[in-house]
Amino acid sequence: MNNTLTAIRGIKVGHYTDDLAKTGCTAIIFKGGAVCGVDVRGAAPGTRETDLLSGYHLVDRVNAVMLSGGSAFGLASADGAMKWLSGRGMGFDSGICPVPIVPAAVVFDLAVGDSLVRPDANAGYAACEAATDAEVARGSVGAGAGATVGKLLGMEHSQKGGVGSFAFTLPGGITVAALVVVNALGDVYDHHTGEIIAGVQKDGVHMNAMKLLASPIVAPAAGANTTIGVVATNAKLTREEANRLATMGHDGLAMAIRPVHTPFDGDTLFGVSTGEVAVEGEDVLFAIFAAAAEVTAKAVQDAVQPC
């Protein structure tokens, strides 16, 4: 049973991974386009095409979302997605030619692997070529190839981050799912038990990042605590509701990652609606938003599990 983002019909996911350089990118493609919103909570984001996702803008649908390593350099991977989509006639009808709409966000992985190798347009194109509606590959792949967690005491005391995904189906056939790239400074928790499952560790013991932050010798590094991703549903949402979906996804990040949303973060989530299933009543909308937090937290935990 597919319990990942591609459980939602019309969504395909593809990774490009450079195993040697420890970086890569992940393309999320929406057949027929999708309504999209965004919520940027980190104070140090690396993003593209996020302004048009708020209300009162002409374009209200996107063709893909690109998630990438490589810090700001990795935003170039979205160019490859535009080329791939354009070659298939997918994009906003400008009256001249289709213009693909590809929002993007990046994580900082330059301290892992080769910092001079970053995902570019060719990498983004390759990720699109690899896109499939099969169960999403998770772990140290794609944009999560160089992701780590628990870096407060230096990289030598960190553990792997990566790509994680989780899906949940509500009564009535509405599915809510998340895909995240977890590159957190601190710890990842099982939010149901309160247990640290990955993070700062020394001699095999988790040190608890929140307690370490009380020490004056700890100075968080910019860009080290970024989690990016997509929270999606097959329910029919407005753009404003898609933005709220992204906001509720951030509640899931706060449940599973500590610390999160700091001045050094680039935390960014996109909220996506494929519009397949009508929403009947405010109670259903409430359930969708509540599920968004849960699936995001579970996706974060999935990202740090052994592969």
In the predicted structure, residue 225 carries a pLDDT above the cut 90: no
Least confidently predicted of 194-203, 209-218, 298-307: 209-218
Name the 3-class secondary structure at 303: helix
- Looking at residue 180, its pLDDT comes to 98
Mind listing the pLDDT tens digit for each residue in 253-282? Answer: 999 999 999 888 899 999 999 999 999 889
- Looking at residue 204, its pLDDT comes to 86
In the predicted structure, residue 232 carries a pLDDT above the cut 70: yes
The string of DSSP codes covering 253-300 is HHHHEES-S-TT---EEEEEEEEEE---SHHHHHHHHHHHHHHHHHHH
Least confidently predicted of 82-86, 190-194, 258-262: 258-262
* For residues 235-247, average pLDDT: 97
User: Distance between CA 33 and CA 36 in Å, rounded?
Assistant: 9
Residue for token digits 């944009």?
143
In the predicted structure, residue 217 carries a pLDDT above the cut 70: no
Query: Was domain 5-303 assigned CATH 3.40.50.11270?
Result: no
- Looking at residue 206, its pLDDT comes to 92
What's the whole-number average pLDDT of the chain?
94
- Looking at residue 77, its pLDDT comes to 98
Mind listing the pLDDT tens digit for each residue in 162-173? Answer: 999 999 999 889
In the predicted structure, residue 9 carries a pLDDT above the cut 70: yes
Boundaries of every domain in the chain: 5-303
Mind listing the pLDDT tens digit for each residue in 132-175? Answer: 999 999 999 999 999 999 988 888 889 999 999 999 999 889 99
- Looking at residue 223, its pLDDT comes to 60
CB 68 within 8 A of CB 126: no
For residue 251, name the pLDDT band (cuts at 50, 70, 90). very high
Measured in degrees and rounded to the nearest 5, phi and psi for residue 250 equal: -65, -25
H runs (alpha helix) in the chain: 77-86, 121-129, 209-212, 239-256, 282-303
- Looking at residue 221, its pLDDT comes to 65
* For residues 209-233, average pLDDT: 81
- Looking at residue 264, its pLDDT comes to 81
User: Distance between CA 124 and CA 16 in Å, rounded?
Assistant: 7
Reading the block at residue 73, the tokens are 């350099």
Mind listing the pLDDT tens digit for each residue in 43-81? Answer: 889 999 999 998 778 888 999 999 999 999 999 999 999
